[in-house]
Amino acid sequence: MAANSARHKTSTDIHDFLTGLARGLAGALLFALPMLMTMEMWSLGFYMERVRLLLLLIINIPLLVFLSHRIGFEHTNCWSSTIRDALVAFGMGIAASAALLLVLGVITTDMPPRQWVGMVAIQAVPASIGALLARSQLGMGADHEDEDEEKDADETDHSSEGSSYVVELSMMAVGALFLSLNLAPTEEMILLAYKMTPWHTLALIAISIGMMHGFVYALSFRGGHRLESGVPGWHAFIRFTLPGYLVALAISLFTLWTFERLDDTGVTQIVLIVIVLGLPAAIGAAAARLIL
Amino acid sequence: MTSLESKKVARKGKPPNTERLKPHWIEWLTGAVSSLLILAIIGWVSYEAVNGTDTPAELRVDIASIEKTGAGWRVLFDLSNSGEATAAAVEVRGTVTDRGRFVEEAAVIFDYVAARSIAHGALIFTQDPAGRDLNIRAVGFNEP
């Protein structure tokens, strides 16, 4: 009897684990498809400087650990399982992008390793973020809700004054990075910056900041933030929206540099290109505050 | 009341609100620094908007190196744009002449040369340009 129930428990554990894996793969594809089907991403895979690719891959690891700690495949309490989940997500990202690039005929068997390894590595970054997010967004079973709440409550208890602020900024960085990875490799970003005058750019800055603030505070989306009564609106604007926009600009600068879009470009042009990519990055940052 | 219930009550009583009335001083510091940096960026772009002249692209070619490779002589060059507008589809042609007699021509097209920026490229000749006249120049561009 006891053995029987133990076996039953193991089989549901395996079932849960496999479901988690399948969700992760689904998420990897859902989030990485736009990039898997972008021509620039294929060529970047083999021509981008290896140091920058390595840096992107290394930065992805703490980012996944952070995400995994927030949402996770399973409700993780200890760091070892958080890190394990992050690495599993990275692995699934690699597997999913390699499989799809093969199916699409982008990777062929006569390619030298340098070429296809680079292609898979660069796609694995957004795919692994997708794999982790899938757990939180695609798997909202009713049986998990209590646990979720409990975990949230725990977190509120644990989080000290400063840490929730850092978490908020980190989530914005994840959102900004995700949308930047989608758009930074495309030629359109630099082309738009070349077409725009500084006046257009000024308008774009205003729109980016306005949308960022509106997304989180004004439009009352589910998961939106409400100001405590008595807190003037400009408090949140200074403390969250403006640092968030700066984070978005920093992330867009980093992705553009990683994809070699800024090499030997004049400073003014760099500022313009970063601000153009800053619009999607800012919206990604704001959306991450609502979703994650 | 179980501990879970009490936690829920505690949570309902005091919702986790990151926009607290009494934030940590570090939040204000971050906010202030960010505001300054964003104002600086806006200031920079405004300065460019007011003072920037719209001079068209001005292209210049500087030869960086000439090397013999398997396919011939590779001439690496820098194409710099000192104008305030970006040039697109820039065609660069190089000719090798020997005392006025045409020897060889090679050409390459650059997608973009950004304003006040440099692009790098190469022309490949089958015959050694050394000792002959090598002339490389941008022959035309359009606006992006």
CB A134 within 8 A of CB A72: no
For the purposes of burial, counting CB atoms within 10 Å of the CB of B141, is it exposed (0-12), middle (13-18) or buried (19 or more)? buried
Which one has a higher pLDDT value, A11 or A202?
Answer: A202
Work out the average pLDDT over A80-84.
82
Closest residue in B to A164 (Cα) is B18
3-state secondary structure of B2: coil
Q: In chain A, which residues have their Cβ closer than 8 Å to the Cβ of B16?
A: 152, 155-156, 159, 164
Q: Can you tell me the distance from the alpha carbon of A156 to that of A153, in angstroms, rounded to the nearest whole number?
A: 5
Give the count of alpha carbons within 13 A of A179, CB side only: 22
The answer, for B30 touching chain A at a CB cutoff of 8 Å, is yes
Work out the average pLDDT over A143-172.
57
The answer, for B6 touching chain A at a CB cutoff of 8 Å, is no
Cβ distance A239 to B118 less than 8 Å, yes or no, reads no
Q: Looking at the predicted structure, is the pLDDT value of residue B12 above 50?
A: no
Cβ distance A162 to B45 less than 8 Å, yes or no, reads no
Mean pLDDT of chain A: 83
Q: pLDDT by residue (tens digit) across B92-110?
A: 999 999 888 899 999 999 9
Selecting from B10, B27, B119 the residue whose C-beta is nearest the C-beta of A264 gives B119
Q: How far is CA A258 from the centre of its chain?
A: 16
**To probe the interface with A, which of B5, B26, B48 has the most A CB atoms within 10 Å?**
B48
Q: pLDDT by residue (tens digit) across A90-110?
A: 999 999 999 999 999 999 888
Selecting from B10, B24, B114 the residue whose C-beta is nearest the C-beta of A165 gives B24
Q: Looking at the predicted structure, is the pLDDT value of residue B23 above 90?
A: no
Q: How confident is the model at residue B18 (pLDDT cuts 50, 70, 90)?
A: low
CB B124 within 8 A of CB B73: yes
CB B117 within 8 A of CB B104: no
Cβ distance B42 to A205 less than 8 Å, yes or no, reads yes
Selecting from B37, B48, B86 the residue whose C-beta is nearest the C-beta of A246 gives B37
Which residues make beta-bridge pairs with B95?
B105, B135
pLDDT for A265 equals 87
CB-based contacts of A17: which residues, under 8 Å, 6+ apart? none
How is residue A102 written in tokens? Answer: 């093969």
Closest residue in A to B19 (Cα) is A227
- Which domains, and CATH codes, for chain B? 3-51 (no CATH), 59-142 (2.60.40.10)
**To probe the interface with B, which of A146, A217, A242 has the most B CB atoms within 10 Å?**
A242
Cβ distance B37 to A197 less than 8 Å, yes or no, reads no
Specify the amino acid at residue B68. K
pLDDT for A217 equals 85
Q: pLDDT by residue (tens digit) across A48-70?
A: 899 999 999 999 999 998 888 87
Q: Looking at the predicted structure, is the pLDDT value of residue B128 above 70?
A: yes
Interface of B with A in 31-60 (CB under 8 A): 31-32, 34-35, 37-38, 41-42, 44-46, 48-49, 52
Smallest Cα–Cα separation from B92: which of B56, B144, B134?
B134
Work out the average pLDDT over A192-202.
91
Q: Which long-range contacts (CB under 8 A, 24 or more apart) does A38-41 make?
A: A38/A185, A38/A186, A40/A185, A40/A186, A40/A187, A40/A259, A41/A119, A41/A122, A41/A123, A41/A185
Model-level pTM? Answer: 0.81
Sheet strand arrangement including B72-81: B59-69, B72-81, B117-125
Measured in Å, how far apart are chain A's first and last C-alpha atoms?
42
Q: Can you tell me the distance from the alpha carbon of A60 to that of A178, in angstroms, rounded to the nearest whole number?
A: 11
Q: Write the DSSP string, B56-115.
A: PP-EEEEEEEEEEETTEEEEEEEEEE-SSS-EEEEEEEEEEEETTEEEEEEEEEEEEE-T
Q: Can you tell me the distance from the alpha carbon of A67 to that of A173, in angstroms, rounded to the nearest whole number?
A: 11
Work out the average pLDDT over A122-137.
85
Q: In chain B, which residues have their Cβ closer than 8 Å to the Cβ of A205?
A: 38, 41-42, 45
Q: Can you tell me the distance from the alpha carbon of B25 to that of B3, in angstroms, rounded to the nearest whole number?
A: 33
Q: Can you tell me the distance from the alpha carbon of A127 to that of A91, in angstroms, rounded to the nearest whole number?
A: 10
CB A251 within 8 A of CB A283: no
